[in-house]
Chain A
């Protein structure tokens, strides 16, 4: 739980620094997605991450959007969709690349949803959206590396 909270705070602090000229990547959502699929897919555990994603989204909306609910819904949808695909993928196919594709796709969809929900489509808004997506690539790469590293460790 510490990692997602830290990710939320990091996202918040970076947004404070970049306020007005950049949208920071959705660190929180990516970390929650990662944590959801990186452990055993137990119903209670997954439910916990769904509510955690929801709470983080609501808090984010209250801090930055003043229209609570949107980010909460997007986060929940992202976690559920990733879980759904991941759960239906054979264990042999669950790898870092699949995680990258799912998390990256969710991040992209989240960005698109925010783009159309809150900003007036313009060149500046499009540029901010693209920068946000580009900045998420190193975060995704880092999470993929961590996943690959942990997956390569012998299970006790």
Chain B
């Protein structure tokens, strides 16, 4: 047993001794150790190359993913910031509606996408003199009438609404018809006699129908003719106001009298 252990014991002790000497040498002669370490590193760099390449590839992929995520986050932040700035800029550039003794300036505060061509809400109500049935005007043209009124808000039904009905007259011919929309942005002048010749560009204005609506408020111009049905030829009307970008409007106050041109 002793004979069996001896070579192992000797080897163990020698290995431990060499190990301790190596440790001592690494502290005593760091320059020499550095040279040895460098050489081992150079030697091992060849078999390690595939692993290094894989590591580099994985790191590059990770960096790319991180960078992409970072860019996406930054892009999202910029989009939100851009939207906020655009909204602020829009609010600044929209001219404030002017109120006069006849007209109440109002800003559009709500326009539902599903009722885009039907109605809008404005920031003026009964406290400001708005009454149901009062005509709403934009750019000098009638665009609708007030249908509901709150204290500090009111709803305006647009002339493009299918439930909007208004007596109107063709200025050049004095023919009387009814203005009506189709909820899709189109405006028609119904009950027009087919034998009359209507030309594109003829002006259409409100007709005298009651106290709340003065006659002679421009609505738009004739754009074309529709199909003749039941003895009438409806005329397509191009609104004079910019209905797609309606940011503010004016409402004729109840005390107003006479037409406004």
A14 to B180, CA, bound (A): 79
Tell me if B19 and A73 are in contact (CB < 8 A). Answer: yes
Tell me if A70 and B23 are in contact (CB < 8 A). Answer: yes
Could you say which residues of chain A place their CB within 8 Å of the CB of B89?
A: none
Tell me if A76 and B8 are in contact (CB < 8 A). Answer: no
Could you say which residues of chain B place their CB within 8 Å of the CB of A67?
A: 23, 26-27, 33
Could you say which residues of chain A place their CB within 8 Å of the CB of B26?
A: 66-69
Contacts A13-B47, A17-B54, A73-B23 given; does A63 touch B40 at CB 8 Å: yes
CB distance from A106 to the nearest CB of B (A): 14
Does any Cβ of B come within 8 Å of A131's Cβ?
no
Tell me if A63 and B44 are in contact (CB < 8 A). Answer: yes
Interface positions, chain B 27-61, Cβ under 8 Å from A, are 27, 33-34, 36-37, 40-41, 44, 47-48, 50-52, 54-55, 58
Could you say which residues of chain A place their CB within 8 Å of the CB of B54?
A: 17
Query: Contact string, B159-197, partner A, CB cutoff 8 A, digits 1/0?
Result: 000000000000000000000000000000000000000
Could you say which residues of chain A place their CB within 8 Å of the CB of B55?
A: 16-17, 19
Tell me if A47 and B33 are in contact (CB < 8 A). Answer: no
Could you say which residues of chain A place their CB within 8 Å of the CB of B48?
A: 12-13, 16
Tell me if B40 and A72 are in contact (CB < 8 A). Answer: no
Contacts A13-B51, A16-B51 given; does A76 touch B16 at CB 8 Å: yes
Total residue contacts A-B, CB cutoff 8 A: 96
Does any Cβ of A come within 8 Å of B20's Cβ?
yes
CB distance from B136 to the nearest CB of A (A): 68
Could you say which residues of chain A place their CB within 8 Å of the CB of B92?
A: none
Does any Cβ of B come within 8 Å of A29's Cβ?
no
Contacts A19-B55, A67-B23, A68-B36 given; does A12 touch B44 at CB 8 Å: yes
The one of A9, A47, A68, A69 that contacts B11, using a Cβ cutoff of 8 Å: A47
Tell me if A50 and B22 are in contact (CB < 8 A). Answer: no
Could you say which residues of chain A place their CB within 8 Å of the CB of B52?
A: 16
Tell me if A54 and B15 are in contact (CB < 8 A). Answer: yes
A63 to B33, CA, bound (A): 11
Could you say which residues of chain A place their CB within 8 Å of the CB of B7?
A: 43-44, 46-47
A87 to B16, CA, bound (A): 20
Tell me if A69 and B8 are in contact (CB < 8 A). Answer: no
A47 nearest CB neighbor, chain B only: B11
A13 nearest CB neighbor, chain B only: B51
Tell me if B11 and A58 are in contact (CB < 8 A). Answer: no
CB distance from B13 to the nearest CB of A (A): 10
Tell me if A43 and B15 are in contact (CB < 8 A). Answer: no
Could you say which residues of chain A place their CB within 8 Å of the CB of B6?
A: 43
Tell me if B33 and A68 are in contact (CB < 8 A). Answer: yes
Contacts A46-B8, A47-B7 given; does A69 touch B15 at CB 8 Å: no
Does any Cβ of A come within 8 Å of B5's Cβ?
yes
A47 to B4, CA, bound (A): 11
Tell me if B23 and A54 are in contact (CB < 8 A). Answer: no
Tell me if A76 and B51 are in contact (CB < 8 A). Answer: no
A140 to B181, CA, bound (A): 83
Interface positions, chain A 38-68, Cβ under 8 Å from B, are 43-44, 46-47, 50-51, 53-54, 57-59, 62-63, 66-68
A72 to B34, CA, bound (A): 17
Tell me if A43 and B18 are in contact (CB < 8 A). Answer: no
Contacts A12-B44, A13-B48, A76-B16 given; does A68 touch B22 at CB 8 Å: yes
Tell me if A76 and B12 are in contact (CB < 8 A). Answer: yes
12 other A-B residue contacts (CB within 8 Å) besides A68-B37, A73-B23, A76-B12: A13-B48, A13-B51, A17-B55, A17-B58, A50-B15, A63-B40, A66-B26, A66-B37, A69-B20, A69-B26, A72-B18, A83-B8
Q: Could you list 12 A-B pairs, sorted by A, with CB under 8 Å?
A: A13-B47, A17-B51, A17-B58, A50-B8, A54-B18, A62-B37, A63-B37, A68-B37, A70-B23, A72-B15, A72-B18, A72-B22
Name the 4 nearest CB pairs between A and B, nearest first: A69-B23, A69-B22, A47-B11, A73-B19
